[in-house]
Amino acid sequence: MLRYPTRLDFRSHVWHFVKCRFYSQINLEELEGSKRKSIHPYSPARTRFAPSPTGFLHLGSLRTALYNYLLAKNTGGQFVVRLEDTDQKRLVDGAERNIFDTLDWCKLDIDESPVHGGPYGPYKQSERKEIYQKYAQHLLDQGLAYKCFCPKERLLELRESARLLKPPTNVTYDRKCLSNNDSGNGSYIIRFKSPHNYPKINDLLHGELNLQPQYNSKDQRYDDFVIIKNDGMPTYHFANVVDDHLMKITHVIRGDEWLPSTPKHIALYDAFGWSPPKFIHIPLLTSLQDKKLSKRKGDFNILSLREQGILPQALVNFVALFGWAPPRELNVKSSELFDLDQLVKLFSLDQLTKGNAKVSDSKLHFLQKEHFQRVLQDEKSFNELVDEFYPEFAELSNGKSKEYFLRLLHELGPSLDSIDGVKDHRYLFENVDYTNVRAPKDAHLAKVIVDDILEHGINDAVERLTTQGLPKKLVFMTLRSALSGGKPGLPIPALISLLGEKECLKRLVSFKDTLL
């Protein structure tokens, strides 16, 4: 059967197909046509993740980072991390470290950044002030920008009056300073002289978009946005355009919330005579009720999930599905379980979705359990997990050996969905508190069972007692109550093996006292 090439095949093996025995059956024009329709690049992409260290990474930010990473690695390109830290007043202590720790934990390998260096640095906007001033001066010299000396009070009045117009307008400045550019010796900002009609946007996901400001025809205002603030630092609009050009970024994947700003960015590219990167605006993250994800759900510290035992593989898998669907073959059962290497191979802009992405906690827990079971089966991943968690376990268990921890994981593993689940089985390394343990209904028979075991030993106790006519269910219930405080999760033989005969008999004695 003829196997048509996938996107990766086409990029890597097209010459093989030309020479292969199916040569006469392949319609090369059709393949080329298919390639033209694809929005996925066939040459190395340089992408960037440009967070602001004004807070810890949340789910939406991680998704942006992940998609940019996957696109770069899928095409053999580079993944750049740039810090947009020009708003110095809003910087949060520890946020910068959190960004890199989170990306490192998720194993998103960075090619260039303030930490890793690179040929297009500095990679912190606060260290690029002279670069922005140089390009702002270029626009001033060309008459495409101007200094504005208006006091803050006047700008607030203009904004309020624009809001009260009928119809209201979302552009506010009246260009008072455009023809008075040399006046004033005080502080000033630099405004970009925006076109009345912005250029259209070509978004790879959404197609051609014509997003224009709303004007009031009777009161002419202008969308002359600020590019340099009065402290000499750039605004986001200006800095990200200059940086993306100088850092040779080819593709920008970012959230839909940046779509309204994109016409401004395209206008700046046009003013400089630069070609803009390809834009891909991805949908909002919403709850299952289609409401925008709240801060409680989305803006928590992602590294707190690590403390809960969530695996980075599960989290990355979870986040990858927020607006991307894996390719599916007809009549072939599909799976949504992927590790990072698989995501790199499969990722394509062609499979991005336009609708809002719904975030479901249950989906994360499902993927977590599946990935945890994979880890237990993979020797390297399993050893890494043990090395990471054993020190905490040793502290919890008053110094239980690593060998005991390995035996415990071997027995408990199939019933766990995270390493943190070990804490729910403290009876394996702590004394059992029988205060709230429900005794078997037939306390007399339970006492008979306990007495027999204390006299004849716990080995083969189940077989011995059931041959005497005692109900097997009652034997199991009595042993589970005595040995684990009634906690399910382990078969009785495994429970006895882990605790050892001496500890089992000790617990049976303590449990017997509750049956009196």
Nearest to 339 by CA among 106, 110, 109: 106
The whole-chain average pLDDT of the chain stands at 87
Distance in angstroms (rounded) separating the CA atoms of residues 48 and 252:
7
**CATH code, 431-514:** 1.10.10
For tokens 């309020």, the residue is 160
Residues of the chain with CATH 1.10.10: 431-514
Q: What is the pTM of this model?
A: 0.84
Position 290 confidence tier, pLDDT thresholds 50, 70, 90 = low
Taking 90 as the threshold, does the pLDDT of residue 206 lie above it?
yes
Taking 50 as the threshold, does the pLDDT of residue 5 lie above it?
no
The continuous run of DSSP H or E covering 203 comes out as: strand 201-203
Residue 459: the pLDDT is: 86
Query: Using an 8 Å Cβ cutoff, are 62 and 310 in contact?
Result: no
Mean pLDDT of 183-203: 89
How confident is the model over 258-271, as pLDDT tens digits? 999 999 999 999 99
Q: Taking CA 255 as the corner, what is the angle to CA 249 and CA 258, rounded to the nearest 5 degrees?
A: 80
How confident is the model over 143-161, as pLDDT tens digits? 999 999 999 999 999 999 9
Residue 328: the pLDDT is: 79
Residue 293: the pLDDT is: 57
Q: Kindly state the DSSP code that residue 127 receives in the 8-state scheme.
A: G
Position 37 confidence tier, pLDDT thresholds 50, 70, 90 = confident
Query: Using an 8 Å Cβ cutoff, are 158 and 223 in contact?
Result: no
Distance in angstroms (rounded) separating the CA atoms of residues 464 and 367:
43
Taking 50 as the threshold, does the pLDDT of residue 440 lie above it?
yes
Distance in angstroms (rounded) separating the CA atoms of residues 26 and 341:
30
Distance in angstroms (rounded) separating the CA atoms of residues 187 and 475:
85
Strand partners for 252: 279
Taking 60 as the threshold, does the pLDDT of residue 406 lie above it?
yes
- Top pLDDT among 313 and 439 is at 313
Strand partners for 161: none
Residue 21: the pLDDT is: 31
Position 354 confidence tier, pLDDT thresholds 50, 70, 90 = confident
